[in-house]
């Protein structure tokens, strides 16, 4: 065989190997059922965070021990909210300050690191966090704090493409994990406290080229893009000035900062939208669509197929950005959403009609209930912060005590659903706030709140509570109280387990049926990230990122003081069962 032919054959073999390792749409559609990998945020695009693995179960979990740990290193610790991805013998995990690592699954050795060069003027609202990446083809793709998307070669960490999403100087940033649906890369934006305009974008994941954009504030134009990158109008979101009188819709907020989920059976992507801007609701009468809502998007066109508003004319920064998790119940496809406003919603995933809504926390003051016929909250008028122009000095409105606090009955920490128990596992927080309105005007890149606040605990013995919630009856089946706020995500497994972390540093495993604690491990810093599990060489592993931070120590008021003893960190821990 001559050298030229040998070279061709070697090249063909390498290409075949690379293609075999590529992440495809078919693999992503099956990832929730494939125990050998974790290819997307949510352990599946539906966001159920449920694993079919059973090797680690209620009887064996007590034998779980560390397999290896990896430090993110440096002084850039802060909050670590990332969910690892597992593929082709590698773990891909993002860290604070827009970093990403590839780690060898066998021994925890670093394969490569990419550290994004951030400008001095970034304005992250709620810590310098990143929640994860997306995999497609031979690429790993993540967003950065200066509102860029970066696609890297999975094997080398070399940049394949990089695209600017928006102007960080105007308050835009990116913190959520991208979503792959129907071969498109779907992303949201962060920055709701700076008067940005929320939107969802679809791109070609292999090139970064825009396919469509859909604003999530009524009155803004959506666009689709041809192969040359030319923008073509794709319809205004909603009807201009219908629910946003005046001009404030132009800087209306509604950031899509938690990213989205996708359900193959409905063909829809679901994105939660954040608070309207500013917080001072007296300046923007009306419902302020599509803020504090769930929007269901046609993945191919970017059209809004339906929208459900959780908190019309939001005055408390309750957002609505929480994940919409689809599941089967009574032969139909529904979505469950534990909203920051304290109510759990069950909504038809196909048409957006409300099926059920009930509290999942013990104290809610802004509304008495949700009207199941109209879908609207029954507001408590006296609990809306006062108009600052009618205050004694015209600079501060009347103060009200509101529960939940603006950090929410549930914030960024994703819940889990188990088709085995038919329960949702929700990391909830019981806290309230004194809140008042102040005069405000928009300035590019400036904080756009128009409110003041102080967060404080409601109960003496706990703030956080892990709760098992029945979406059919609205009952809390069991709960586990926690002294500090819960800020990390949840995972359920077919082994009858629920895994979750605490700010005190523990990763815990409890019985999914009754909440009995079966195992815990001290990671050395607070856990504010969601765990994952996978099967490698016949062995089941569990992993979680550890590193205290996020919004609580920055915005938590009296609560922040209560947990000031917690130490920061930055590492990922991997566990397996002890042999014998």
348 is catalytic: no
**Residue 142's closest CA among 130, 154, 153?**
130
Q: In which residue are the tokens 């990403």 written?
A: 100
Burial label for 441, CB within 10 Å (0-12, 13-18, 19+), is: exposed
For residue 496, give both structure tokens. 């009858």
Per-residue CA distances from 473 to 327, 343, 415, 423, 469 (Å)? 15, 13, 18, 10, 9
Nearest to 179 by CA among 31, 353, 33: 31
Between strands 231-236 and 517-522, the pairing is: unpaired
CA 84 – CA 88 distance, rounded (Å): 13
Place of tokens 């909504």: 347
Q: Distances in Å between the alpha carbon of 84 and those of 100, 132, 311, 455? A: 10, 7, 32, 31
CA Rg value for the chain: 23
Distance CA 380, CA 370 (A): 12
- Are 404 and 431 in contact by the 8 Å Cβ rule? The answer is yes
* CA angle (511, 516, 518) in 5-degree steps: 75
| Catalytic, out of 166, 317, 319, 339 | 317
Residues annotated catalytic, as ranges = 317
């Amino acid at each position: 065989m001559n050298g030229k032919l040998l070279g061709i054959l070697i090249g063909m073999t390498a290409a075949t190997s690379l293609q075999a390792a590529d992440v495809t749409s078919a693999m992503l559609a099956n990832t929730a059922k494939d125990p050998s990998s974790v290819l997307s945020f949510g352990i599946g695009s539906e966001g159920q965070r449920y694993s079919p693995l059973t090797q680690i179960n209620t009887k064996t979990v007590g034998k779980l021990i560390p397999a290896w740990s990896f430090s993110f290193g440096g002084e850039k610790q802060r909050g670590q909210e990332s969910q690892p991805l597992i593929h082709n013998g590698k773990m891909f995990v993002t860290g604070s300050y827009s970093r990403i690592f590839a780690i060898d699954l066998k021994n925890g050795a670093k394969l490569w690191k990419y550290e994004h060069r951030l400008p001095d003027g970034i304005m992250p609202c709620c810590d310098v966090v990143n929640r994860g990446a997306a995999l497609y083809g031979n690429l790993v793709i993540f967003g950065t704090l200066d509102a860029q998307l970066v696609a890297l070669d999975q094997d080398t960490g070399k940049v394949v493409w990089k695209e600017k999403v928006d102007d960080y100087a105007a308050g835009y940033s990116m913190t959520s994990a991208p979503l792959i649906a129907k071969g498109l890369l779907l992303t949201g934006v962060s920055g709701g406290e700076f008067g940005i305009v929320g939107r969802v974008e679809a791109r070609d994941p292999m090139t970064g080229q825009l396919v469509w954009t859909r604003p999530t504030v009524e009155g803004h134009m959506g666009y689709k893009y041809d192969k040359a990158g030319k923008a073509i109008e794709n319809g205004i979101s909603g009807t201009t000035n219908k629910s946003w009188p005046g001009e404030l819709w132009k800087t209306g907020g509604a950031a899509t900062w938690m990213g989205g989920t996708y359900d193959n059976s409905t063909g829809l992507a679901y994105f939660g939208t954040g608070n309207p801007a500013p917080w001072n609701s007296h300046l923007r009468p009306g419902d302020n669509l599509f803020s504090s809502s769930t929007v269901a998007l046609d993945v191919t066109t970017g059209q809004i197929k339906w929208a459900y508003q959780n908190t019309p004319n939001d005055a408390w920064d309750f957002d609505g950005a929480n994940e919409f998790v689809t599941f089967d119940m009574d032969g139909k496809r529904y979505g469950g959403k534990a909203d920051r406003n304290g109510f759990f919603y069950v909504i038809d995933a196909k048409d957006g009609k409300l099926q059920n809504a009930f509290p999942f926390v013990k104290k809610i003051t802004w509304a008495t209930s949700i009207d199941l016929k109209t879908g609207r909250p029954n507001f408590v008028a006296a609990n809306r912060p006062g108009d600052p122009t009618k205050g004694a000095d015209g600079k501060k409105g009347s103060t009200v005590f509101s529960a939940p606090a603006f950090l929410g009955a549930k914030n960024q920490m994703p819940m889990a659903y188990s088709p085995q128990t038919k329960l949702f596992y929700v990391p909830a927080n019981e806290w309230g706030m004194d809140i008042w309105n102040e005069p405000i005007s928009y300035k590019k890149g400036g904080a756009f709140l128009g409110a003041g606040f102080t967060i404080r605990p409601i109960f003496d013995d706990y703030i956080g509570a892990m709760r098992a919630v029945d979406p059919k009856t609205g009952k809390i089946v069991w709960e586990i109280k926690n002294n500090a706020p819960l800020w990390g995500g949840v995972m359920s497994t077919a082994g009858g387990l629920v895994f979750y972390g605490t700010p005190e540093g523990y990763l815990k495993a409890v019985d999914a049926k009754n909440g009995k604690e079966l195992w815990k491990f001290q990671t050395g810093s607070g856990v504010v990230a969601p765990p994952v599990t996978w099967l490698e060489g016949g062995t089941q592993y569990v992993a979680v990122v550890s590193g205290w931070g996020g919004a609580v120590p920055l915005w938590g008021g009296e609560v922040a003081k209560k947990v000031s003893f917690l130490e920061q960190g930055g590492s990922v821990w991997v566990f397996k069962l002890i042999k014998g």
